[in-house]
Amino acid sequence: MTEKSASSTASSDTTGATPGTGTTTDTTGTTPNTEATPSAGTAPVRTGHGAADTTPDTSPTETSPLNGGPTHPVGLPVARRLGRRAQGRIADWITFAVLAVGGVAMVAPLLWMFSTSLKTKTEVFALPPVWIPEIPQWETYVRMWENSYVLTGFQNSFIVATSVTVLGTITCSLAAFALAKLRLPGRNAIFVGLLTGIMIPFPTLMIPQFVMFSRIGWVDTLLPLIVPAIFGNVIVIFFLKQYLENVPNSIIEAAKIDGASYWQIFWRLIFPIIRPAVSAQFILWFMMVWNDYLAPILYLNTPERQTLQVVIANMNVQYATQRDYPLIMAASFVALLPILAVFLVFQRQIIESVALTGTKG
């Protein structure tokens, strides 16, 4: 009788328990243990409302190459898995490739010009084109110096371009400093008057200038090409004035308090500041004067006094009928060298001018 009663009591304590779930019975009357050991084939157990699935993630992962960072699934996009350094390196290579293609496209005509200057007349007109001559004809450059006015034209162009750019840059810098920083009466009206002068094209002034220079005996000399230009260039003045607008006036006021004159302020304070801009404008102005053809052909008649561009144009008329294109290309290549030399000398200042553009204070 006692055993039957005990069996009935045990059955009532374990009511609601499902076999195979791993639920243990608390014989002391406390809350049953909720730890479950999932058996094979059973669904994952959730421990609460909205709980995450306890099934482990079996997707393939890889460790980030950046300092042992967190793991990322292999299936993510390549752009996310690559580091910033790798992406920047790829962008640099793409930029380099684009610039290299553009550089080759710009240098190719110059290389063709130099190659043509070393060819024979037969190789110039050969098909398919000959890029590298079989036997370089270096004597073409000897004929160029001996049988033409290239040497005198080179000297005349160098005199005109150097005197105009050096003296004209000084006057333009002084004018820009006066218009930007000095308290001149009517300086805005003067500046507007200079800008309106740009709107007048040179062909409308050719005849009046030629009549004026012929009356004072300057025709067939280099003076009409030098004297008007050394008093300044409106475009250069405008550029330097806008550059000086970024220089604070307090620097000039402090120098004036220290007893410096305007001449000392310009040479010791202002000119070092605007030197990158002056260098950039110097190169552009030198190129413009060196390659000028209209003014020299108007004022210069004697072959010994003509500039290099006029000499090359006359060679084109004289030697093109003889199919002597190597001689013309040799003269054109020599005319390119001074501009290339000036650019290489002032290359650092040009980069500084571009880097400092737009800075204030």
The pLDDT value recorded for residue 360 is 46
Q: Which residues pair with 73 in a beta bridge?
A: 61
Tell me what pLDDT residue 95 has: 92
- The reply to whether 216 and 100 lie within a common domain is no
272 occurs within a structural domain: yes
| Tens-digit pLDDT profile for residues 204-228 | 888 899 999 999 999 999 999 999 9
Q: Are residues 113 and 222 in the same domain?
A: no
Q: Say yes or no: 99 and 156 in one domain.
A: no
Residue 69 falls within a domain, yes or no? no
- 94 with 175, same domain: the answer is no
Is 168 found in the same domain as 238? yes
With respect to residue 264, please indicate whether it lies within any of the assigned structural domains: yes
Contact 64, 70 (CB under 8 A): yes
d(CA 286, CA 161): 6
**196 assigned to some structural domain:** yes
Do 235 and 343 sit in the same domain of this protein?
A: yes
Q: Is residue 63 part of a domain?
A: no
pLDDT at site 224:
92
Same-domain pairing of 197 and 325: yes
Beta strands in 16-73 (DSSP E): 61-63, 71-73
Which secondary-structure segment (H or E) carries 289?
helix 271-290
Of 172, 163, 288, the C-alpha closest to 234 is 172
Contact 332, 110 (CB under 8 A): no
pTM of the model: 0.67
Backbone angles phi, psi at 325, to 5 degrees: -70, -30
In this predicted structure, what is the pLDDT of residue 320?
Answer: 64
Instruction: Confirm whether 39 is domain-assigned.
Output: no
Residues 265 and 317 in one domain: yes
Q: In this structure, which amino acid lies at residue 327?
A: L
Q: Residue 354's pLDDT is what?
A: 61
Exposure string for 304-342, b = 16+ CB within 10 A, e = fewer: ebbbbbbbbebbeeebeeeebbbbbbbbbbbbeebeeeb
pLDDT of residue 327: 87
In a domain, 46, yes or no: no
> Does 43 fall in a domain?
no
Work out whether the CA dihedral 14, 17, 23, 29 comes out positive or negative.
Answer: negative
DSSP 208-244: HHHHHHHHTT-TTSSHHHHTTGGG--HHHHHHHHHHH
Residue 67 makes CB contacts below 8 A (sequence gap 6+) with none
Which residue from 286, 293, 253, 292 is spatially nearest to 269, judged by alpha carbons?
253
Number of domains in the chain: 2
Asked if 317 and 148 touch (Cβ cutoff 8 Å), the reply is no
pLDDT in tens, 315-349: 887 766 667 788 888 888 989 888 888 888 877 77
d(CA 298, CA 310): 10
CB-neighbour burial class of residue 23 (10 A; exposed 0-12, middle 13-18, buried 19+): middle
Same-domain check for residues 169 and 113 = no
Q: Are residues 89 and 192 in the same domain?
A: no
Q: Are 102 and 251 in the same domain? A: no
What stretches in the chain show pLDDT beneath 70?
1-82, 319-322, 350, 352-361
- The confidence score (pLDDT) of residue 322 equals 65
Query: pLDDT value at position 45?
Result: 44
Residue 247: the pLDDT is 83
Q: Do 125 and 139 meet the contact criterion of CB atoms below 8 Å apart?
A: no
Range of the domain at 289: 147-356
Looking up residue 173, the CATH number of its domain turns out to be 1.10.3720.10
Are 100 and 236 in a shared domain? no
Nearest to 175 by CA among 227, 235, 232, 229: 232
Q: What CA–CA distance (Å, rounded) separates 182 from 188?
A: 11
Sign of the Cα torsion 175, 179, 181, 185 reads: positive
pLDDT (0 to 100) of residue 94: 93
